[in-house]
C-alpha cells in the first residue's frame, strides 16, 4: 500500500523550510570559520593586540553598513538573489582572509566579509519570517538553532584541520566546498519574489515599535557579546580558572544556546511565546546573578549555561514580532532591528569594559542582568 503524495503546495512549503534551515547553517559556518584564522592573520600581518582590535572593528563596520541596506535590496530583488550575493562574497573572502598579509588589505577584506554576513543575516531572517507566516506555526527558534549549530561546525572543522597540519588556505577551501554543497541543495527553494508592493517606500526610518524591539535586541546581543568577550577573563581573574580552560565559559554558553534553539519551536508551541520570552529572559538574568554571586568556577559555568538556555529563544521571538508589526514593511523592520541589535555585540565589550574600570566586572554583569529584566517585563507587550 502506498502513501499518497503530498500536494505540491505542501511539498514546496517543506522544501522551502529545509532551504531556510540550510541558509542559516551556511551563515553560521561561514561566520565562525573566521575565528580560528585570527591568530594566523595576526602573525602574518605582524599586528600588536591593539592593532588587531582595531582591525576587527572593520568586520562590524561592514555589517553595520550592509544591514540597513539589505531590507531595501530584499524588497527590490527578493531573498534568493541577496542571499546568493552574500554567499558568493563569503566564498571569495574566506580564502583571502586566510592568505592576506598586510593590515590594509586585511581591513578591506574584513569589511567586505562583514558586509556579506550582514546581507545574509538580514535576508535569511526576512525569509524565515515569511516561511513562518506561511506555516502559521513557530519555526524561528529552529532556524536560529541551525545558525548556532553552524557556528560550532565552522569553528570546529577549521580548528580540526589546522590541528592536523593543514594550512589556513586549505582549511577554508574545505569549508568553501561544504558551503557550495549546502548552497546547491537549497538555492532552488529560496523565496524569489519581491516583498515590497509598488506603493511601498524602499526605505523608512525606524520608529516607535521597531525601535523598541531593536532596543530589546540590543540588550540580548549585548548579553551574548559580554559572555563572548569577558566571560573568559571573569573566569580567570575572578574564579581562578586556568587560562587553558577559560574558553569553557563561552563553549558552555554556545552549546546551551544551540540546544535551546533547536528545541525552541517545541517549547514555544507548548508554553507560548509570552511565557518563553518571560521565563527565558528571567532565567538568563538569574544565570548572570548566579555567576556573579557565588565565588566558584563551577557555579559560574552553570550560570553561563543558564544564560545560554534562557536567551536562546528570545531573539527569534523578536524577529517573529518584527515580521508581524504594521508600523513598517517587515523587510525594512527586520533590517533596522538587526542593525540596532548587532550594535549590541559591537558596543557590548566597550560598555562592559567602561563599567568594569569604573567599578568591577561583577557590577557590569549585574547591570546586564538588570537590563534582561526589562526584556522579561516586556514579554506580554511584545507577543500580544
Q: What is the CATH number of the domain that holds 52?
A: 1.20.1250.20
Please report whether residue 41 resides in a domain. Answer: yes
Task: Note whether 171 and 253 are same-domain residues.
Answer: no
Please report whether residue 282 resides in a domain. Answer: yes
pLDDT at 208 over 80: no
Chain Cα centroid distance, residue 49: 25
What range does the domain containing 295 cover? 208-382
Mean pLDDT of 310-335: 87
Burial (0-12, 13-18, 19+ Cβ within 10 Å), 6: exposed
pLDDT at 6 over 80: no
Q: Spell out the residues 6+ positions from residue 256 whose beta carbon is closer than 8 angstroms to its own.
A: 304, 305, 306, 307, 308, 309, 312
Task: Note whether 155 and 302 are same-domain residues.
Answer: no
DSSP alpha helix (H) spans, the chain: 8-32, 38-44, 49-77, 79-97, 103-135, 140-163, 168-186, 208-238, 248-262, 264-271, 273-293, 297-311, 314-324, 330-358, 361-377, 379-382
| Tens-place pLDDT, residues 56-68 | 788 888 988 998 8
Task: Note whether 105 and 241 are same-domain residues.
Answer: no
What is the rounded CA–CA span in Å between residue 382 and residue 213?
8
Q: Tell me the pLDDT of the chain averaged across its residues.
A: 87
Query: What is the structure's pLDDT at 202?
Result: 53
Please report whether residue 202 resides in a domain. Answer: no
Q: How confident is the model at residue 380 (pLDDT cuts 50, 70, 90)?
A: very high
Please report whether residue 102 resides in a domain. Answer: yes
Task: Note whether 374 and 236 are same-domain residues.
Answer: yes
pTM passes above 0.85: no
Based on the structure, what is the number of domains in the chain? 2
The mean-pLDDT minimum among 110-124, 268-282, 348-362 falls in: 348-362
pLDDT at 214 over 60: yes
Final residue before a domain boundary, out of 154, 189, 224: 189
Please report whether residue 199 resides in a domain. Answer: no
Task: Note whether 281 and 137 are same-domain residues.
Answer: no
Final residue before a domain boundary, out of 131, 159, 189: 189
Task: Note whether 29 and 69 are same-domain residues.
Answer: yes
Query: What is the structure's pLDDT at 377?
Result: 96
Element (H, E) at 329: none
Q: Spell out the residues 6+ positions from residue 27 whose beta carbon is closer than 8 angstroms to its own.
A: 117, 120, 121, 124, 147, 150
Task: Note whether 19 and 154 are same-domain residues.
Answer: yes
**For the chain, what's the residue count?**
384
Task: Note whether 100 and 249 are same-domain residues.
Answer: no
Task: Note whether 21 and 56 are same-domain residues.
Answer: yes
Number of neighbouring beta carbons within 10 Å of residue 12: 13
Task: Note whether 47 and 20 are same-domain residues.
Answer: yes
Q: Are 201 and 91 within 8 A, CB to CB?
A: no
What is the rounded CA–CA span in Å between residue 41 and residue 38?
5
Please report whether residue 220 resides in a domain. Answer: yes
Q: Would you call 164 helix, strand, or coil by DSSP?
A: coil
Percent of the residues in the chain that have a pLDDT greater than 90, as a whole number: 49
Q: How confident is the model at residue 7 (pLDDT cuts 50, 70, 90)?
A: very low
Query: What is the structure's pLDDT at 200?
Result: 53
Task: Note whether 232 and 130 are same-domain residues.
Answer: no
Query: What is the structure's pLDDT at 229?
Result: 74
| Tens-place pLDDT, residues 133-147 | 888 888 999 999 999
pLDDT at 320 over 60: yes
Final residue before a domain boundary, out of 189, 221, 252: 189
What is the rounded CA–CA span in Å between residue 27 and residue 77?
20
Half-sphere exposure of 347 (CA within 13 A, CB side): 16
Please report whether residue 113 resides in a domain. Answer: yes
What is the rounded CA–CA span in Å between residue 241 and residue 190?
46
Q: How confident is the model at residue 290 (pLDDT cuts 50, 70, 90)?
A: very high
Query: What is the structure's pLDDT at 194?
Result: 65
What is the rounded CA–CA span in Å between residue 47 and residue 59?
16
Please report whether residue 8 resides in a domain. Answer: no
| Tens-place pLDDT, residues 85-130 | 999 999 999 999 999 999 999 999 999 999 999 999 999 998 998 8
Task: Note whether 113 and 258 are same-domain residues.
Answer: no
The mean-pLDDT minimum among 102-106, 184-188, 226-230 falls in: 226-230
Amino acid at each position: 500500500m502506498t502513501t499518497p503524495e503530498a500536494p505540491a503546495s505542501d511539498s514546496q512549503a517543506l522544501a522551502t523550510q529545509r532551504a531556510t534551515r540550510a541558509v542559516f547553517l551556511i551563515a553560521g559556518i561561514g561566520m565562525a570559520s573566521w575565528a580560528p584564522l585570527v591568530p594566523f592573520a595576526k602573525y602574518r600581518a605582524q599586528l600588536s593586540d591593539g592593532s588587531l582590535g582595531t582591525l576587527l572593528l572593520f568586520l562590524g563596520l561592514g555589517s553595520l553598513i550592509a544591514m540597513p541596506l539589505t531590507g531595501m535590496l530584499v524588497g527590490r530583488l527578493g531573498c534568493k538573489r541577496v542571499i546568493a550575493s552574500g554567499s558568493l562574497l563569503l566564498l571569495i573572502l574566506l580564502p583571502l582572509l586566510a592568505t592576506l598579509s598586510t593590515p590594509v588589505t586585511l581591513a578591506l577584506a574584513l569589511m567586505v566579509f562583514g558586509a556579506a554576513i550582514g546581507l545574509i543575516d538580514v535576508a535569511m531572517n526576512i525569509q524565515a519570517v515569511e516561511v513562518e507566516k506561511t506555516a502559521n506555526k513557530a519555526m524561528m527558534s529552529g532556524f536560529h538553532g541551525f545558525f548556532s549549530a553552524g557556528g560550532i561546525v565552522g569553528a570546529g572543522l577549521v580548528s580540526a584541520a589546522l590541528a592536523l597540519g593543514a594550512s589556513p588556505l586549505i582549511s577554508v577551501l574545505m569549508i568553501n566546498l561544504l558551503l557550495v554543497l549546502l548552497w546547491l541543495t537549497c538555492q532552488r527553494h529560496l523565496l524569489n519574489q519581491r516583498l515590497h508592493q509598488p506603493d511601498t517606500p524602499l526605505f523608512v526610518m525606524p520608529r516607535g515599535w521597531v525601535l523598541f524591539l531593536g532596543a530589546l535586541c540590543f540588550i540580548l546581543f549585548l548579553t551574548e557579546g559580554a559572555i563572548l568577550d569577558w566571560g573568559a577573563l571573569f573566569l580567570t581573574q575572578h574564579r581562578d580558572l586556568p587560562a587553558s580552560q577559560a574558553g569553557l565559559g563561552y563553549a558552555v554558553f554556545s552549546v546551551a544556546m544551540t540546544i535551546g534553539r533547536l528545541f525552541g519551536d517545541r517549547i514555544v508551541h507548548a508554553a507560548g511565546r509570552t511565557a518563553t520570552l518571560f521565563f527565558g529572559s528571567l532565567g538568563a538574568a538569574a544565570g548572570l546573578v548566579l555567576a556573579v554571586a557565588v565565588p566558584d568556577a563551577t557555579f559560574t559555568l552553570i550560570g553561563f549555561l543558564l544564560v545560554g538556555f534562557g536567551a536562546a529563544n528570545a531573539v527569534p521571538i523578536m524577529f517573529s514580532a518584527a515580521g508581524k508589526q504594521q508600523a513598517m514593511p517587515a523587510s525594512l523592520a527586520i533590517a533596522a532591528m538587526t542593525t540596532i541589535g548587532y550594535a549590541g555585540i559591537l558596543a557590548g565589550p566597550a560598555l562592559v569594559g567602561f563599567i568594569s574600570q569604573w567599578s568591577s566586572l561583577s557590577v557590569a554583569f549585574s547591570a546586564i542582568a538588570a537590563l534582561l529584566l526589562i526584556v522579561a517585563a516586556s514579554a506580554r507587550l511584545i507577543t500580544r
